[in-house]
Each structure stands twice: as C-alpha cells, then as structure tokens.
Amino acid sequence: MKVLVTGAAGFVGFHLCRRLLEDGAQVFGFDSLSPYYDPRLKHARRAILASYPLYDDRIARLEDSGVLAAFAEAAAPDVIVHLAAQAGVRHSLEQPRAYLDSNIVGVFEAMEAARRSRPRHFMMASTSSAYGANVKSPFCENDKADHPLNFYAATKKAAEAMTHSYAHLHGLPTTMLRFFTVYGPWGRPDMAYFKFAEAAMAGEAITVYGEGRMARDFTYVDDVVEAVVRLIDRAPVAGAPVGPMDSLSPVAPWRIVNIAGGAPVGLMAFIDELERALGVPIERRYLPMQPGDAISTHADPALLDALVGYRPATGVAVGTQRFADWFRDWSARRASLSA
C-alpha cells in the first residue's frame, strides 16, 4: 500500500507515518517544516522517518499552487491523509491569515491533488472545535455545528464543506477526522500540556484558564493513529450507512468520524496526573476563560466503533507518563540539535 501523508513531520503525521512504515507501507511525506514552533522538533521527527527505506518526502509549502498535486501524481498513492494545517485556537486570534492560507487554500490544493491522483480514500484532519457552541453532550457527528467559537474552527468547518463538494462532484471517497485534544510524546509545544511540562520543569507556575473548570476528551496519540489506520480500509460508500448514527452524506461518499474515546477528563485531574508523571510540583495560577475556548469537549465514539470495532482507551495516567518520559529525554538533548 502507498500512502501520502501531508504534515508528515508534524505531531500526528509523524506518528502515523512511523506506524504505516512499520506495517510495511510505502509512505510519501509532504511538509513545509514551518517555524510555527521549534523546528528542531520537526527535523528530529523527519530524521527518524528518513531512516526507513520505504519513506520519501518533499519539503514544500502546501499553499504553493500545484506542488502537492505534482508530488501526488508522481507517487500515485492508494490513500492520501491530509494532516497539514495551521492548528491552535489561541494562535488563530493573533494570526488569522495563517489559518486562511493553510486551512482554506491548503485544503484546496490537497483536494486538487486527490482529484488528479484518484486515491481510493482521501482522509483529512478536522477538529472537535468544529462543534463550536453546541451544548449537547456527547458530541455526535450528526449534530449541527454551525456556530464556531474561533477562526481556527471556522476554517475547519469550511474545509469540511469544501471536501464534501469534491466528494460529490468527483466521486472522491472522503473521511473527515474530528480529533479531540490529542496528546503524547513528540507533541506540539504550543499545546497546553507541553507548556505545563516546560514550566514545571523550570520551576515556574503554569497558567490555568477557565479557573480550572474545563474538561477535555483527551486522546492519546497512539490511539488516534490506531483509529486512522483502521479507517483507511473503510472508505465511505454512498448509500451504504452503517447505522442511524452514521454521518454518511446522502449524496456523496463522505462522512465525519469522531476520533476520541468518549471519556472526558477534568483539566485539574489531567494536571494532577502530569505532576505525578513529571515528579515535580506544579504551581497553578488561575485566569478566566480565553476567547474562543470551549468549557468541555466530549465525543460520542459510537460511529468509530461501528466502522472499525475500536475506541481509544488509553487513560491519562498512562498517557501522561509516556509523555513525561519522552519529554525528559527530549529536554536533555534538544539543545545539542541545530535549529
């Protein structure tokens, strides 16, 4: 099997590529190695992937017209997994143009690449933030999600609509993956848990927004990868829903799938587990909610379970320990890596 993964040097992209390579797939990575966060982390991930004989990649900007499409046509992948994006709720308040470029223009380039190379399955990362102001819990894929709370979520919702149009017009089997608070080793330094770890190890207080009242459906990265790998062979087929919970479009081979275990954890409980795993006290400073944040996220994983017989289940005690073990190692060696 040949798989093209955009955002290959990113957090989820790196873990997915490594899993696919270990399973014997031929993987084509595409990444811009953008400086949004510490490029040493991206270069280190890429170096690990480059050690696999069946890995090849292209370093280029997703937004540059036709570059990804040309790479995809040469690779002729069976599957395209589009993970490259500008992520982060808070950064979208400061740099919204970056989200327009990556998450709208970039998605158009990815769709064009899929239209021209004709993979049997086109998969793309969306986000739990797409549920926006929805107060129904747990979040189901068929719930209306028309009121995004931040520009990041708005671009992802727009991307879902864009991919639906291509699925309908070009018969392109498409799965939108709504990820819920993915965490774990090799994670993104802009994520709260990563910032918490850096502050704690430096003996500094952490900032806890929402006075600590928030809860998230934390999903360990290996569980996310397991779900995505299983879904590769479950491309949507128009007119063939798996049950009443299915988000399958009535007019296209297109669906949305929640990628989470459906077991939200309070932010304070997560910080307690991280404190235990790091082995250092974490001083908390509490501030009000940030604009664009949701109080709670809670996925209904019934559709994922119906499709592939799997639900993410790694608990935060295990997940935070694995992250902490990696974080200590990374902190010790990153200074020796060139930026």
User: Where in the sequence numbering do the catalytic residues fall?
Assistant: 152
Distance, in Å, from the CA atom of 177 to the CA atom of 227, rounded to the nearest integer, reads 10
The phi-psi region of residue 16 (left if phi > 0; otherwise alpha if psi is between -120 and 50; otherwise beta) is alpha
**CA-CA-CA-CA torsion for 50, 6, 235, 137, nearest 10 degrees?**
120
187-192: long-range contacts at Cβ-Cβ below 8 A with a sequence spacing of 24 or more?
187/11, 187/221, 187/323, 188/10, 188/11, 188/37, 188/87, 188/88, 189/37, 189/38, 189/41, 190/36, 190/37, 190/87, 190/88, 190/90, 190/91
CB atoms within 10 A of CB 266: 14
Measured at the CA of 120, the angle between CA 144 and CA 85, to 5 degrees, comes to 55
Tokens encoding 71 = 């790479």
Among candidates 117, 132, 111, which has minimal Cα distance to 176? Answer: 111
Q: What residues contact 248, with CB distance under 8 A and at least 6 apart?
A: 236, 238, 240, 241, 242, 254, 255
Residue type, 196: F
Tokens encoding 234 = 């479950």
Measured at the CA of 294, the angle between CA 293 and CA 299, to 5 degrees, comes to 135
Per DSSP bridges, beta strands 265-266 and 215-216 are antiparallel
Residues 176/85, Cβ–Cβ less than 8 Å? no
Phi, psi of 94 (to 5 degrees): -100, -35
The helices-and-strands tally (H runs, E runs) of the chain is 12, 13
